[in-house]
Chains A and B, each alone.
Chain A
């Protein structure tokens, strides 16, 4: 029997977290593909990483500070120019609260 790393219910939960949705057919395909990919990841288990400090950036830099000075910034019209919907200088979205 094929090894299971992830089931459909879990894929549906992750899809919700990622703000995605899938058709039933896509769900079948994605679950199988994600399962294959996660099985491949199992090989990391072979590596002894006890006491190894994780690397999240290859070039270590401390926080990059700058003077807290006012600089040039985009005018509001430019910031809103690409908005699917905008009104009164704001981005407009469908209603959030019933």
Chain B
């Protein structure tokens, strides 16, 4: 019986998952609400924390898009390696730049301009 069943689906066990439209609608509403929250949060001056907050909310939104809209929730481990690798590389890139540059002794271009002005 199980054998016959596997022949009914030409995609076999790797068949794509069918996500109901209602689930997508819930995610869309969540994404729009999060967008409103980002805009409102940006009106409050929190200094350095503004960009941190904005990036956290953006990452929550991105996760919702990848997990549900892009069917990430239903993908296997090999595909997840492909999904995660660019983000890991991006973290290394930005992490590498910002652990190197701020600790160098050269002044920022803005400071150079100020020095020239005086």
A pairs with B: no
